[in-house]
Amino acid sequence: MNQAIPPLAARVADDTRVVAMGRQVLEIEAAAVASLARRIGPEFCAAVALILESRGRVVVSGIGKSGHIARKLAATFASTGTPAYFVHAAEAVHGDLGMITRDDVLIAISNSGENDELLTIVPLVKRLGGKLIAITGNETSSLAQEADIHLDARVDQEACPLNLAPTASTTAALALGDALAVALLDARGFGADDFARSHPGGALGRKLLTHVADVMQVEVPTLVEDSPIPVALAAMTRGGMGMVVVLDAAARITGIFTDGDLRRAMERLGDLRSVPVSAVMTRNPRSIAPRRLAIEAVEMMEARKINQLLVTDDAGALCGALNMHDLFRAKVV
């Protein structure tokens, strides 16, 4: 008769051992990356130069766990200014090799450096005229010897207690590939604006690609200077922006009347029924141009501790307005 399997918590004999094992894995992998950093030198510089000089793309390939690392690195290269794509080594020998051209640079990843699929496609790529950068843990391996440039990603041990499962070695390969991508980013002068253009759907893209004109409200409540405060309050309520813009007879902006102005006026004056809005409004209100980035509006509002901001053209004419809620809805904040 089969006995019931005890709950997971009951099967964990020693929590201390579990914590120790987790820490050991992190320490081994951290040591592997630290060792890798000390070995970066002329070969790394040569790899950066080779990719910069290439007229084609970077093709990253591997198989198994190295294949997963290769796929991630191809995405990192592509998003940081280096056109790149992933080719599975096993698929390459069955037709995908046709995607690689003589102008490309192949980055082949294999800890042992003896992967059969990679070693099959390497001569074909080189025959085309393509260049090869190998990332391996064995500088005497066949793949390292075939490479134009070999980047040493060896580790002293895997984090697996059996020293078998790819753990520290894949971490090292990933870190080395990231270092290469970031060095290329810096060499190309790839900046935040470039990154935003390749990530338009992300938070950074919204911050760097969203302009004030994209989020401002164009239907802004306005009134003239001699309007009594009850009229101003009604206009503010209809507008739903917590403010109303005050204009002179020539439709020039003279001030802004906000919820905060109303509270301060009530504390100071009491009965406001006959008080003109010009007596309690905020004069010379802050404004921003519609072409400016929305994140600049956020910074201005936070620095001035205000919740509304007018939008004006170069002549100072009212174009629209926005409040912090508009920026929240646009996910700029």
Mean pLDDT of the chain: 86
| Cα–Cα dist 247/244, whole Å | 10
| Cα–Cα dist 286/309, whole Å | 6
* pLDDT, tens digit (0-9, with 9 covering 90-100), for 44-87: 999 999 999 999 999 999 999 999 999 999 999 988 889 898 98
Residue 313: strand, helix, or coil: coil
Residue 293: strand, helix, or coil: strand
Q: Report whether pLDDT(1) > 50.
A: no
Tokens standing for 187?
């060499």
- The DSSP symbol for 254 reads E
Q: Report whether pLDDT(106) > 90.
A: yes
Beta strand residue intervals within the chain, DSSP E? 58-62, 84-88, 105-110, 131-136, 149-152, 222-224, 243-247, 253-258, 282-283, 287-288, 308-312, 318-323
Go through the chain and tell me how many residues it has: 333
| Cα–Cα dist 267/280, whole Å | 12
- Of 244, 66, 202, 56, which Cα lies nearest the Cα of 132? 56
| Low-confidence winner among 11-15, 107-111, 189-193, 281-285 (lowest mean pLDDT) | 11-15
Higher-confidence residue: 287 or 89? 287
Query: Domains in the chain, ordered, with CATH?
Result: 8-190 (3.40.50.10490), 212-329 (3.10.580.10)
Edge-first strand listing for the sheet containing 131-136 = 84-88, 58-62, 105-110, 131-136, 149-152
Q: State residue 95's pLDDT score.
A: 52
Cα Rg, the chain, nearest whole Å:
31
Q: What is the pTM of this model?
A: 0.62
Tokens standing for 70?
């290769």
